[in-house]
Structure 1
Amino acid sequence: MRKKLPILIVTLVFSVIILLSTHIFLNTRLNLYWTKELTEKQKIEDFEYMYNILKDNYAHFYEVKKMYGYDWLAYKEQFTEKVKKTKNNLEFYYALNEILSKFHDGHTYVLSPGHYRNLLGPWGFKPYEDMLKESESSYKMWEKIFKNAHREGELENYYSLMKPKENVTTDVIEPGKIAYLKVHSFLLDYHNEGEEYKREREMIYDFLRSIKDYPYLVIDISDNGAFL
């Protein structure tokens, strides 16, 4: 009996260690993807981090002020109040993108989970792959948040979320003289073997053939944004 007691104690201790280790491991793994709501303090810290990065690195404050009369840096307090008013993580995400939209710069925004997935997948942004992968656990969380708010197709297919239904607009401003062609987005439908791209390409070719003798063609890409 005396010999068996130490063995029993060792076995129990070992079992407790395994159970505790498993509990800690599972909780650590789950917390990576837990959609916990950010606190007001965390949101403000995130916003201020973004604000300071832009303040020190963004190159077009002068152009934004000159073109739109908007001194973005001067609105920090108002931006902070907007962030404070957000009720959940999703509202916080949209508030940040609304703040960034004041630049009128389609290349300055917070990536959505669908866009993030495309950058790591079909678009293959190799120079930024390591940087993007560092955010993978965070985007697992954001993916869950978006799935609760959007249709599954919108999350899985960034193309369908971002690209307008009528992407190409053609018009004749002055018959025989001035034609107009607008392309809203250059985003390609990789997910669908480029079927939509092929259709739009033929539409553009047909239009160009129809106005081949016009001396003037206005090509409008003014609404084209980031990777669109």
Structure 2
Amino acid sequence: MSNNYPYLEVNKRMHGIDWLANKEDYLNKVKGTETDQEFLNTIDEILRDINNGHTHILDRDYVKRLRKAYYYSTKDLPANWRVLLFETLNSELVKNCYNLVLNWRNNWWGRYWP
């Protein structure tokens, strides 16, 4: 996080939250969770301390809706940010993480069809 997120010092100055200094507190909160829902709520709470509206934990249904929306909004477009987002959402890592078993396949020009 300290190597890849450039706004930690800004967050510290603007909001008084030293995210890296809170690491042990965050770890203890996560270790104290007993259910998947508690874990997700705790991670969400920790991420809110970053004060970045683009940083979220996405649930499975939301990821499925995003994949569908970006598939249909990108199928006739050249490579752009929507295509990159769709390809990320359709990656094996994301599909495995969210337990998405879909019948998506590559067609002859490398795009995906349901």
Q: TM-score range by the shorter chain?
A: 0.5 to 0.7
The one of 88, 102, 108 aligned to 1:131? 88
Aligned equivalents of 2:13, 2:55: Cα separation in 1: 18
Aligned equivalents of 1:127, 1:75: Cα separation in 2: 33
Aligned equivalents of 1:80, 1:111: Cα separation in 2: 20
Aligned partner of 1:73 in structure 2 is 20
Q: CA deviation at 1:96?
A: 0.8
The residue identity in structure 2 corresponding to 1:128 is L
Aligned equivalents of 2:2, 2:39: Cα separation in 1: 20
More strand by share: 1
The residue identity in structure 2 corresponding to 1:93 is L
Q: CA deviation at 1:55?
A: 2.2
Identity %: 32
Aligned equivalents of 1:132, 1:79: Cα separation in 2: 27
Aligned equivalents of 2:6, 2:63: Cα separation in 1: 24
Q: CA deviation at 1:60?
A: 0.8
Aligned equivalents of 2:83, 2:43: Cα separation in 1: 26
Aligned partner of 1:113 in structure 2 is 60
Aligned partner of 2:99 in structure 1 is 140
Task: Give CA deviations for 1:141-181 in whole Å, capped at 9, x if unaligned.
Answer: 8xxxxxxxxxxxxxxxxxxxxxxxxxxxxxxxxxxxxxxxx
State whether structure 2 residue 37 is matched by structure 1 residue 98: no
Q: CA deviation at 1:88?
A: 1.5
Which is further off, 113-122 or 82-91?
113-122
TM-score relative to the length of structure 2: 0.68
* Within-5 A mapping of 1:169-188: none
Question: Are the aligned partners of 2:70 and 2:86 in contact in 1 as well (CA < 8 Å)?
Answer: no
Aligned equivalents of 2:43, 2:62: Cα separation in 1: 16
Q: CA deviation at 1:106?
A: 1.1
Structure 1 unaligned runs (5+)?
A: 1-53, 142-228
Question: Are the aligned partners of 2:19 and 2:49 in contact in 1 as well (CA < 8 Å)?
Answer: yes
Q: CA deviation at 1:90?
A: 1.8
Aligned equivalents of 1:64, 1:85: Cα separation in 2: 26
TM-score relative to the length of structure 1: 0.36
Larger radius of gyration: 1
The 4+ residue runs of structure 1 with deviation greater than 6 A are: none
Aligned equivalents of 1:55, 1:126: Cα separation in 2: 29
Structure 2 unaligned runs (5+)?
A: 72-81, 101-114
Which is further off, 113-122 or 101-110?
113-122
The residue identity in structure 1 corresponding to 2:26 is F
Q: CA deviation at 1:116?
A: 1.0
